[in-house]
Each structure stands twice: as structure tokens, then as C-alpha cells.
Structure 1
Amino acid sequence: MKFRRILAATVAAASGVLIVLPPSTVQAADPPPPTGLTSVTASPSCWAIKQSHPNSPNGIYWLQTSKLVSPAQFYCDMVTDGGGWVLVARGRQGWNWSYNGQGTPSAVRTTTTGTGAFTPAALPAKTIDGLLDGGRVDSLVDGVRLRRATNSDGTDWQEMRWRFASRDRWSWMISAGHRIAQFTVDGVNRGSGSSRSWANDNSYRYVATARIQQHGWAAGFSFGPNIGGANNATSYLWEYASENAAIPFTQVFIRPRITDSSFDEIPTAGTPAKTLSPLMDSKTVNTTPWGVTGCIGGCTELNLEAEGLAQVGNTMFVGGAFQYVQKGANPGAGEKVEQRYLAGFDIDTGEWRSGFRPVVNGLVWDLAKTPDNKLIISGDFTTVNGVAVGGLAKLDPVTGAVDPKWRSNVLNGTARGRARAIDVQGSWLYVGGDFNRITGGDPTAGALFGPVTVGRAARVNVANGRPDGTWKPNFNGSIIELDASDRNDRVYFSGYFTTVNGVTGTNKVAVINVTGGGVLTPGMKKWVPSGTTVDKQYQQTIMEIGDSVWVGGSEHILGKYDRDDFTFERSFTTTQGGDFQALGVVNGVVYASCHCAENMWQDSSSWPTPSPTWTQVDGVTFVGAFDAVTGDYLPEFFPTLKARGGLGPWELTADTKGCLWFGGDLIQGSYQTSSYQWLGGFGKFCGRDTTAPTKPTNLKATAAGSGVSLTWGAATDNKGSLSYQVLRNDRVIATVSTTSFNDTTATQASRYFVRAIDTAGNLGASTAGVTGGPKTTLIGYNSTWAWAFDGVDRGTAWKNTSFDDSAWGRAPAEFGFGDSDEETVISTGTPRPLTSYFRRTFDVADPSLFTTVTLNLIRDDGAAVYVNGTEVARTNLPAGALTVTTRASSGISDRGAETTPVTFSIPKSALVAGTNTIAVEMHNLEASGSDLSFDLQLLGQ
């Protein structure tokens, strides 16, 4: 909402001459178009600045849209093709195509070209969407502009434009192959194609953005194979070795033609807090100093350092094929200890639980916590601490001792079986893997129960390990993962099987009832694969989350299905590796891991070619995040991880502190203070900050010179560091780190609000609005007044708005006689009347916007002031009714008192919107008085 003030300040000056002027009709014009030169004058786009201020040069400007809530600075090209372009990225080789951008926004706008700009810097996709103000990328009239250097010294350039065929929001993962409806090179239409690789020739009309080995896996906007370059710090054309296909220094511009952006009016009560949605921070937590290393029997996809995770108490247990626990990349004495297959770590500090030292003789695949807070492990082992067990064991989580009253052994005939996956539901432990017989029970109570013949799945009593001899679903292939529903009605299985209980067509995924002896849950639809090669469709992870079931595995597919009948809802595929391996959920966000390091295709159900119906493509590195309800991919979560063999996490587990642990062959986490974090097989993410700062207090707005000075009490934040957004009327005009701000651009009364924002982007609730403005001169000194000084008793009508003063004189103040400083002398002879009368009008657009109205009155001797017929001030006059013969209460002879204004505070309720009338009567002490003075100033704030 725009607030305007209409002011009347008609002034005429003609000493000794009576001038008749009409009432003031001056109105304030609309404010000029924003220049973008300050945060307060931020423009909705570079284009808008260029249209309103055609001579604007290239440079840095402030921009703001309703989606780009806070004004920010950007570099605008105001020359090329009519100007109005905003720079969103620049660089040579080494683009990472991250949704969260690259480098810093400051680098993008301040170092736009030259060798210092060769290291790529790109704005976050969310910022670019803000510049579009909610508009679609494929609606950009001018497309996306690539300005590429065409020679090594950067003196010749090419202009390439991309018109996207179908793109609603911005994605930097252009190497995935977004559909381009039109490529234009130096103004010539060259057809359509893909943002991954397009060629109209083998030289300059060529662009390739994928990471390729010939470029040393460095990405950029590569030319064709006929264009060479140099691998040095100064060439605008970069070549890794002698592959040609140089990567040129490139600038990326867009030109949103936005000339206005609508902001919602803020209610007087202010704005509520607005926090980020729950999501893991992309940066790994550095409180995992210990890890697990070495793969017994050699590291392979089925023999990794960390294969399973489970929390019991304050310990996170890790199972896998590892040989050692190790502290840091370069352990000291006592910091690399042989501890095979199973170890525990403090979930807060990451310190190794050195008192937990079970001796396990084989790979640990999975782990689970029991209702009595014990630890159950499953795998390929046959003994723990020398006690004969068969792939399953229940341990004391402190000492590692085997529970003497719990046994459960899986077998393949008479040989060792494999218990690959376990999960606890109520009083049962569900087991899946590769086995056909199972025994178990309390050995101290007699012989174990069984063997029970099963088909790769079973359930055992979680209290003693005794198998259920009646619940026996039969799978014809190995089980990789299972999930027992929290609703206690079913169990989900995934793996290599193609039939269950002899039912064909139950491929790789099955839903089994917990009652009825392990029958298939009726009414379930079939799982949807990403290809037709059945033996490559095995699914490796499955989990019920809310009202959906998520399934992921081979052929690079992750699917979301309705829990009620397993109706397919949506799916995702990845490229460049990408089989999905594990699922986890924290605070309504699903996390899925894969050995993937490039593209995540949303709404694709085919591989290797994504489905034509794909809707988005973003980047992924080993772990991706998804909204549990909608299934939308959440590209803001984009961790930086490295894996020893590129296999990534094979287990994801949420701890009770809201963090997500991951385990596999990981060797490196995020960059910390001075280096990348070492990881030993596993690490963790914790949630990003979603707590809003508190509300600032005691906001005050006072006039300061020609502007408004704002002060407020500090807010607090759970993370300590915060700044403040200052809002005027309906939008943010500045962000400051102090508890004060001077709005030097204020031209009228406005409502102000202040809210705190933390470094993560959480907004606290704002203060309630306070009205403030510069001191607006409603009536200035030396203004023109209607006046009468003729001894006629005017009664009371003269002070009213309806009174006709057209017969009175008109002249500028100061009025009076005898002091030689009058602008208008109203009498030269004696005796004179005791009383003189003055009137004028002034306009006010909205009196409610004022906090104070101040009257400064110069009088000699006494005066009474009326606004719209109501008395608002009286000085040096007796109480009661006043007439033309009323004398002042005393004479004023001191020159200082005669020229010093008497100040009154006028209630704003005395004013009306529109035209107001002010009337003043001046009274002398004696008709023979030697002087009289009158002038008046009326200020609104």
C-alpha cells in the first residue's frame, strides 16, 4: 500500500501589498521511479531501472521483488541490446552446478570479468527465482544469455541465448540436459536441443556442459573440438591438456522484464515469525572424530566399512566389514585399534566406546534396538565372544556381552545362513536374508525350538529369539531390506525375489501381513520398475513413511507408493551411477542415499533415459532429500561427500537428537574451518537452524532532520548472530546489524516495523507498526494569510471552516508593526484596534499517520488559535470568551520574547483528511501599544 501526503504551502511575498490568492491546490506527485542506487530505492529489476532512467550505466544496483523479500545488490548490464540484464553467474572451468550456487553473491556482482573472475561464482537458484518474482524460466522473453569469450585474451565475445522449452523454476543442473526450444548465436536462430550438449558446428556454435574425463572432469560452457585453449591462469579459453574443446570464460545473464512487484500490506500488528522448514544442514557435523577403517576380505559393494547403524541409549553402533576403529586420518598412539565388525560411538561427541569390545567373527549387516534397550545384530557371523550364534545375537550395549537367554540361528541347510535385514515391531523381531531354516529360544530353559523351515524370512520372539513356527512367507530370492510397519499390521520386503508364497509377478517388493501365517497383504498393486531387464531390478531399500511407502534400488529408481493399496504416486531416477541403497526420515523429510553424483530426475520412472514426463532435474551427491508428503525433491540439501570407492552410504539412521547418521565407504565430509572433514566410513548431518529470533522491543520513530530516526531493543537468537530488517509500509528497506537506523529518504509519514533475521534465514516476528515521518511543514513561516485589522468584532463565525474571508486582505507573514522586521505592516497610525484576525487553509491526506502535530507561534502580545473552529491554543489571554476589545493579559516588551516562538502540541484529532482551516486572533495590551507581531509554523510528524 502506498501512503501519500497532500500538502498545501502556497506562499506569496509582496511587502505592503495586498495580494488575493486562491486556496492552495498543490498536491504531492507520485514518487519518482526507483533508481536502484540505495536499498530504499531498490527496483524490481535492472530492466525497470533502464526504462525509467535510460542513462543508467553498467554497475551495481539494488533490486527487490515480492519474492526477493530483502533488497540486495546485483550487477546490471545496462548497455547490451537495450540493457536491463542482471548477472547471475560467471566463471571459466570448474562449475559445480549446485542449486545453492557457487562462491558468493558478492563475488558475482563485484568481480564480473578478468582473471579474478575465472573461478566460477553463481547465485543460488532460490535467489534467481526471487529475481523472477515467481515467474517461470521458460517465460523469459529474452531467454538466458551466455556471453562467452572467443579468444584467449578476452577481447572478442559471443552472444548466445537459450530459450528453455519447459522450466518453471531455476536449476543450475544444466549439464543434465534441459530442453532448449531455441538456441540463438549472435542474433541468428540455430534451432533447438539440450543444455547438456548442442552443436551447430564443431567450433564456436557448440556448447557442452557435462563433466568429462578429457577436461579432467572440470565442467563449463565448452566450445567444440576445433577450438583450442591453454591450461594457465590468464587465458580466457581453458584447455585441460590437448583435447581442444576449450572451456571459455562465460557470463550468465537473465533479463526479467518486471516493472512493478506487488507487496502485501502489513497489518498494524506486524508480521509473524517465519522459519525455515525442517531439513538437514548440508554440512556434515564435525563431532565424529572416530571412524571405522579397513575392509576384512577386501572392500566391495557387499563388504563395506559401514553397513548398518543403530542407536541404543547414547551410543550409535556401527556394523560392517571393518577391521579397525580409528581417530582421524593420521592417528596417533592408541588411536587405531583393531575392533572387527562392530563398534560403538557416543552420539554427541563421536568418541569411541572403548569399553564395548565384542569379538565378532563375521560381517555385521544390520542392527536393531530392542524394547528393553539391548542391541540385536545380524549378519554372516557364527560366533560372538566365542559363543556359537548363527547370524543373530542379542548383546549388552555397554559391555558387548552376549545375552545368555537369547539365541536365534539362521541356516542354509546345515551351513551358515545370512541374516541381511532386521526390524523390531512390538514383541517380534523380523528377519530377512538368505536362509531356509531357523532355530532359537532361551538356551537356559532347554533345547532351542526348531529348526523351522522358512523361505528367506522369519520372525522371532524379541525377548528370547524363539522363531514363530506359523509365520512363514516364502520368497524365491534373497531379501536385502525389510521394514516392519509402525502400525503393527504388515512388513515390507525388498530384494531379488520374483515370487512370494508361489505367487508370480510379485517382483522385488512385497507387502506381508503380520497375521495369517505371512500371507501377502491383499489389494496391493505391483511395484513399478525403471526398465525391462528383470535380473537387474533388485530393490535395496524400503520404508513406510506416513501414508506412503518408499522403495529404491537398482536401475537407479526411487519410488513413492500409496500405503493403502500400493498405488504408484511418483518416482525419481538418477544418472552417472545411482542405485538407491538406504532410506531414512527426520521431521517429515525423507532422505535417500545412492552411489550417485550428478542428476536427480523428478517424476521420471525410466533409466537410463529419463521419462519424457520428468518435471525437474537437480543435482545430488550420495544423499538426497524429499518432502515426505508431496514427494518433492528438496535441492537445498546438497552435501559434499567423498567415498573411497564411490559407493556412498548404505545405511541412514536418525538418532534421538534429530540428526541423520550415514554409513558406507565415506572418507570425506564437508569443509570445516581449514580443511575437509575426515570420515571413517560414517558421519552425520544435523538439522539446520529452524528457530526464529525473538521480537525486537520498544520500537521508536522520531523525526531527525529531514528523515526519521528508528531505535529498538535488541532481539536474541538461539545461535547468537543476527541482524535486523527494517520495513517501511509494505516492504523491507534495509538490513542492519545495529539497533538503530536513520531513514534519510523518508518524505512522508509512514508505518515502520523491525524484525530480526538470523544467519540461517529464520525471520522473527516483527514489532507492531509505529508511525513516523519527517517533520512535515503543514504551514511554514512567512506563509500567506487572509487578515483583517479594522476594529470590527467578528463574533465566533470567523473561526469556522465555512466562513467567507474573500473580502479580507491577503499577504505573507510576519504581520505586525513597530519592530521593522514585518513582511506585512498592518497599521501605521494610532490609536489602533486591540485585535487582529488571521485565517488560512492547509491540506492533510491522512491525519492518523501523524504521531504529533506541533504549533510554533510568534505573538506579541496575546493570541488564541483555532483549527476547524475548535480552540487548540491560547497564550497571554484571559480565560473565557474573547471579543474585539479583549486585552492581552500582559504586555511583552522583551525583544527575545517577542521573536521566540511559543510551542503547543495540537491533537491530531483536530485535523481532518483533506482541507483544514486555521484561524488566529491576536490581542494587544493597549490600543496605544508600540508594536505587534504574528507568524506561525505548523509541523506534522
Structure 2
Amino acid sequence: MKKLVLAIVTGAAVVAAALIPSGPPSEAASPGFASAVSSVRQTSWQTNNSVNALAIAGDTVYAGGLFTRIRQPGKPAGQGESVRTYIAAFNRKTGAPTSFAPKLNGPVYSIATSPDGKWVVIGGDFTTVNGLSRHKLAMFNVATGKIVIGWDPKFSARVKALAIYGNSVYVGGAFGRVDGTTRNRLAAVSVSQGVLQAWNPNADDDVYAVDVSDNGQRVFVGGPFEKINGKDHYSLAMVNTTTGAAYSMPAAAAIPEPSPTCTTRVKDIDTLGNKVFVSNGGDGYGCYDGVLAADATTGKLLWQNNCLGATEAIKAIGNWVYKGSHAHDCSDSGAFGDDTGTHYLLVENAANGNLGPWFPNTDANPNSTTQVGPLAMAGTSTDLWVGGDFLHVNGKVQQGLTRFTNAPGGAAPAAPKAPKVTSTALNKATVKFTDTYDLDNLTLTYNVFRGSTNIGSYKYTSYYWEPRKTYTVTDTGVKSGQTVSYHIEVNDGRSIVKGPAVSVKVR
């Protein structure tokens, strides 16, 4: 009966075979990837400048930003372009543009769609839409694509954040007045007529993010403010949906108050079920740049991820929280250190904040106004759209906008290298192989073959940024004088990648 012996070697250290790298193992899902969507970039059109906001209504994705042109997939700047002034819409299933093409005279910074899918509201710096006066806010009919003529609340300055629930459009930004009435950076208008509502949290500084709990009982607001209604609520607050009065939110204490070396502020908020997820970013030394999760009713902190590199956008899908950031050091959260480059796209486990199995990447346009990469996210249970100031996605030209889906297949594991094979003892062969990685999975199965015979199957967890580890298998099922070949096959649950073979004559 043949006998196999397995060991793992990392550098000069020899470790027990049962030891695997730290972090949450994740078995490959049946489609070939382990999170809600794959890291494989799907086809979509591009933009000629930054995308600041995204929202979905049915099969339509709305994108707003600084762009004035959209262009065909794979085309370089200046080729295959169509005019879209600061706002565009795309087919969610194909990535192709729709005929929706309003003419705005200024950028869009926020978009929200109504839960019933009938209305889309956009906010920004514009003052006209299709030649009509619109002061920073406008509403469109999703079915017809036409602007709602009688809906015209007037905001005095930029609208940066939007959320819709029931008959209320909750608005955050830099404004101080709405329809001539004082509303400091937070206000609500009715979906039906655009009439200013009584809701008035009165923030003392700009608001960057607004979202409503799934049950409609809380509104969460974030930004660089320090007070809500004159009381201390630094950067994050949970308020009443009718009065705007702030509740206690213990999780807000996880965000440090301003210091001489650092100022941080909430960049994005997303709710799912009874959880609210909050992303943060800062300027200076020792800032908080990560993501936290809180109970959407009590406001209590559930977990906090401490990656460094401001988190600009988040989207919760199922058991995962996708994040767009310029993360460069997640060592405090048990992941990569500050020497593996910038990880612009990551996913975190919604239960504990640990990094999960999704590793596509973008870059950041050094000539943009933001220079941070991803700036906005929107998604459903089957897809995730990402907008920002990037120029490439997964190393390929793709400016401003991209999408990922749950289409079966996913990314295949990186090809294993040829093993190192020796025979220094009678009737034995020693096979040493290094692990590899998969951008959609953490746990991979390594099958060691002698010719066409599988002599061993092993599962290991690995992250692509880690140094590759070496494993050793001793094959005693051979006889002296034989010449045998060995190769490694790596399986992520769907794709099998075969490495090159190496032969040895058994002593």
C-alpha cells in the first residue's frame, strides 16, 4: 500500500501539514466563485471622466459625474464616443447605453431611485436640465426618461447625497436653504410634489452620505460635520425619519474626532436588513479609513475593519460588503501589509468585516480631481456596478465605469508552476510544489499527479498578495529504476488548471 507524506515549507521554516494561512477559509461556490459576484470584469461602456454616483431601477443603471462623453467598450479616449452631459443610463444586463440623455449644465454628485422603480432623482451642481431651471435637484420618470415638469425644489448649493423612502426624498450636501427656507445641509422633500418637509436635522458642516434603514425607521447621515441640531454627533448620526432628531448611535464612537494630525469623515452609507454599513476616509496621519457595521435599530457597533486607505464607496450584497477604496495596509485586520500595492476593490464578510474572496483591481487617474479610484457603487443580488476616476480595470482599458456579475465561471486559478522532483532514497520520489492563488476564491484544491494517477489531494487557503508557500509530498508508490513524471492541477470548484510536468528516475 502506497504511503504519502506531506509537509509545508515557508522560507526556511518547516510547518505542520495541517497549518493553513490565517483568515476566513472560503469554499468555492458552485458558479466557480465564493462571493456574490465574480472578479471577472463584464462588458460595459466607459466614460471620459469620473463617475461620482450610481443607482439602479429595474434593468436600468444610472450613472452621474463629471463626464461629458460615453464610449464603447475597449475603445481609447476620443474614439467611439457619444454625448452624455454628466448623466447617462445603461442596460444592467448588457452594459450598453440607453437613449436617456438629458442635457445638464453642471456635474452630478448623487443619484437615488425610488423603491418602486418609478422615479430617479439626481443631485449635484447643475442649474438647468434640458433648458429648464433646476437648482441642484431634478426628478425623472424611469419609464419615459422625461423630466418631471412640476417637481422643482430649489437648493442653494451642491446636493451630494440622496435617499428615497416612502414619500420622502432625503437630501444631504452643502446647501443652507431650500425654497428660501433655512435647511442646513440636510432636508427632505416629497416624492409626489417636491414640497419641502419638516425634517430638519440641521448639520453644522457638509453631508456626504445619506441612507434609510430597510424598515424606514431610521435615517443615517455622514460627513465632516460635528453637530446635529446643536448636539455633538461627529461624522455619523442616526436620526428620526420625521423630525430629524438624532438618536444615540454608539457605533459613531469608532470614528475618531478631529485631531491636529487627522480629520476623518464618513464617505458612504449602505443599509441591508437590520445592519448599516459605513465607510470612512481621512486626511493626515493615523486616520480611520475603514468600514464599520452597526445595528440599524440600536446603533451599536457590530464590527470594524481598520484597513488604511480611504474607503470611498460601499455596497452590501447578501453576506458581503463590497468596498471601493485605495487600501494599502490592512495588517491591523489580519491581511496585507503596506508593501503590496494599492487594492482599490475588496470585499468584506458582512458578519465580521474580514476580507473575503474577491480581488479585482482598478487604478486611479492621476489627472483627475479626486485621484482615488472607485467613487461609487450600486448593485443587486446578481451584479455590482462600480464608478470612479479609474482608467483601467484588471489591467485593461476601462475608464470611469465597470460591472461585475454572478455569471457562472469566475476567474480561474493562476497556473501552478512545475514541481521540483527528486529521488534520493530507494523506492521514493519527493515532489515539492508551490501554492497559487485565485481572484475569486481563498481555498483551492491541489491535486498531485504521477502520470495520470492522482496520488494526493490537498486543500489550502491562500491570498494572492502573500508570499507563495511550498509543500512537499513523498511518494512511496514507486520502484527503483522507474522514470515517472509529476504535475500539479489546481481546482477552484469549477475551473481546473494544469501545470507542466517534470520527470525523475527513481533511485
Same fold (TM over 0.5): yes
Aligned-partner Cα distance in 1 for 2:73–2:31: 39
Q: 1:589 to 1:332 in 2, by over 3 A?
A: closer
Does residue 372 of structure 2 align to residue 647 of structure 1?
A: yes
1:622: which partner in 2? 344
Tell whether 2:74 aligns with 1:345. Answer: no
Which protein has the bigger strand share?
2
Residues 653, 134 of structure 1: alpha-carbon distance in 2 compared, 3 angstrom cutoff? farther
Matched, 1:565 2:284: no
Query: One-letter code of the match for 2:128?
Result: T
Give the superposition deviation at 1:86.
4.3
State the one-letter code of the partner of 2:19: G
CA contact (8 A) 2:249 2:300 kept: no
Q: What residue in structure 1 maps to residue 269 of structure 2? A: 542
Cα distance change of structure 1 residues 334 and 396 upon mapping to structure 2, 3 Å threshold: farther
Q: Which residue among 752, 761, 775 is the counterpart of 2:493? A: 761
Instruction: Output the aligned Cα RMSD.
Output: 3.6
Task: Map residues 180-191 of structure 1 onto 2, 5 A cutoff.
Answer: none
| Amino acid of the structure 2 residue aligned with 1:599 | D
Among candidates 242, 250, 259, match of residue 533 of structure 1: 259
Counterpart position of 1:489? 217
- Unmatched segments (≥5 aa) in structure 1: 1-30, 35-41, 46-84, 90-127, 138-167, 172-271, 295-304, 412-416, 440-450, 604-614, 671-675, 692-722, 727-731, 736-744, 746-756, 764-941
Is 1:514 the counterpart of 2:241 in the alignment? yes
CA deviations over 1:762-804 (Å, ceiling 9, x no partner): 59xxxxxxxxxxxxxxxxxxxxxxxxxxxxxxxxxxxxxxxxx
Aligned to 1:434: 174
The equivalent of 1:798 in structure 2 is none
Aligned to 1:365: 109
CA distance in 1 between partners of 2:353 and 2:87 (Å): 35
Amino acid at match of 2:239: I
Which residue in 2 is equivalent to 1:455? 184
TM-fit CA distance, 1:759: 5.9
User: Is it true that 1:684 corresponds to 2:403 in the alignment?
Assistant: yes
How far does residue 328 in structure 1 lie from its aligned partner after superposition? 4.3
Distance 1:570 1:311, change over 3 A: closer
Q: Counterpart amino acid of 1:311?
A: I
TM-score for both structures, normalised by structure 2 = 0.72
* Contact 1:525 1:565 (C-alpha < 8 Å) held by counterparts: no
Task: Determine the structure 1 residue equivalent to 2:359.
Answer: 638
CA contact (8 A) 2:32 2:492 kept: no
CA distance in 2, matches of 1:532, 1:318: 33
The superposition leaves residues 449-498 of structure 1 with CA deviations (integer Å, 9 ceiling, x where unpaired) of: xx432121111111221121x21111000000111111110110110110
1:688, CA displacement in angstroms?
A: 6.9
Closer/same/farther in 2, CA of residues 132 and 367 from structure 1, 3 Å limit: farther
* CA 1:333–1:363: 2 relative to 1, 3 Å: closer
CA distance in 1, matches of 2:202, 2:194: 20
- TM-superposed CA distance for 1:366, in Å, is 1.1
Verify the 8 A CA contact 1:277 1:690 in the aligned structure 2: no
Amino acid at match of 2:400: G
From 447, 467, 471, the counterpart of 2:199: 471
CA–CA separation in structure 2 for the residues paired with 1:761 and 1:388: 56
Counterpart residue number, 1:600: 330
Aligned to 2:46: 291
| Alignment check: 8 A CA contact 2:110 2:161 kept | yes
Alignment partners' CA distance in 2, 1:651 and 1:273:
29
Distance 2:236 2:249 in 1: 14
Structure 1 residue 331, shift from structure 2 partner: 5.8
Give, in whole Å, the separation in 2 of the partners of 1:537 and 1:492. Answer: 17
Q: Decide whether aligned partners of structure 1 residues 88 and 463 sit closer, same or farther in structure 2, where only a CA change above 3 A counts.
A: farther
The CA distance in 2 between the partners of 1:561 and 1:330, in whole Å, is 42
Aligned AA (1:761): G
Q: Is the 8 A contact 1:546 1:628 kept in 2?
A: no
Q: Please, which runs of 5 or more residues in structure 2 have no aligned partner?
A: 411-444, 449-453, 458-476, 478-488, 496-507
Distance in 1 (alpha carbons) for counterparts of 2:16 and 2:407: 26
CA distance in 2, matches of 1:343, 1:170: 39
Letter in 2 for 1:558: V
Residue aligning to 1:11: none
Q: TM-score if structure 1 supplies the norm length?
A: 0.40
Q: Tell me by how many angstroms 1:526 deviates.
A: 3.7
Residue identity in the other structure for 2:202: N
After superposition, where does 1:22-37 map in structure 2 within 5 Å?
A: 31=1, 34=3
Deviation at 1:565, TM superposition (A): 3.2
- 1-side partners of 2:75 and 2:297: how far apart? 52
Which whole-Å CA distance do the structure 2 matches of 1:331 and 1:543 have between them? 33
**Residue 502 of structure 1: aligned partner:** 230
Question: Residue 335 of structure 1 corresponds to which residue in structure 2?
Answer: 80
Are residues 400 and 136 of structure 1, via their aligned partners in 2, closer, same or farther at CA, if it must alter by over 3 Å? Answer: closer
The amino acid of 2:373's aligned partner reads G
Pick 1 or 2: higher relative contact order, CA cutoff 8 A, min separation 6: 2
Matched, 1:579 2:323: no
The 1:401–1:529 alpha-carbon spacing in structure 2 relative to 1, beyond 3 Å, is same
> What is the CA-CA distance between 1:273 and the residue it aligns to?
8.6
- TM superposition shift of 1:135: 2.5
Distance in 2, matches of 1:572 and 1:680, equals 29
Q: Does 1:387 align with 2:132?
A: yes
More helix by share: 1
Deviations 1:277-329 (A, max 9, x none): 434322322x11x21104xxxxxxxxxx1000112232211100112112245
2:387 to 654, 658, 663: 663
Between the aligned partners of 2:214 and 2:267, the Cα distance in structure 1 is 20
Show CA shifts across 1:690-732 (max 9, x none). Answer: 99xxxxxxxxxxxxxxxxxxxxxxxxxxxxxxx9x99xxxxx8
Letter in 2 for 1:551: V
In structure 2, the residue corresponding to 1:410 is in which secondary structure? Answer: coil
Q: Is the 8 A contact 1:460 1:466 kept in 2?
A: yes
8 Å Cα contact 2:248/2:299 also seen in 1: no
Amino acid in structure 2 at the alignment position of 1:561:
A
Counting aligned pairs with the same residue, the percent is 24
Counterpart in the other structure of 1:135 = 19
Is residue 499–residue 507 contact of structure 1 (8 Å, CA) maintained in 2?
A: yes
Q: How far is the alpha carbon of 1:533 from its aligned partner?
A: 1.7
Which amino acid in structure 2 is aligned with residue 591 of structure 1?
Answer: Y
Q: Given the superposition, is the C-alpha separation of residues 334 and 537 from structure 1 closer, same or farther in structure 2, using an over 3 Å criterion?
A: closer
> What does 1:172-187 align with in structure 2 at a 5 Å threshold?
none
- Match for residue 58 of structure 1? none
CA distance in 2, matches of 1:518, 1:643: 37
**Residue 550 of structure 1, CA deviation:** 2.3
SS of 2:95's equivalent?
coil
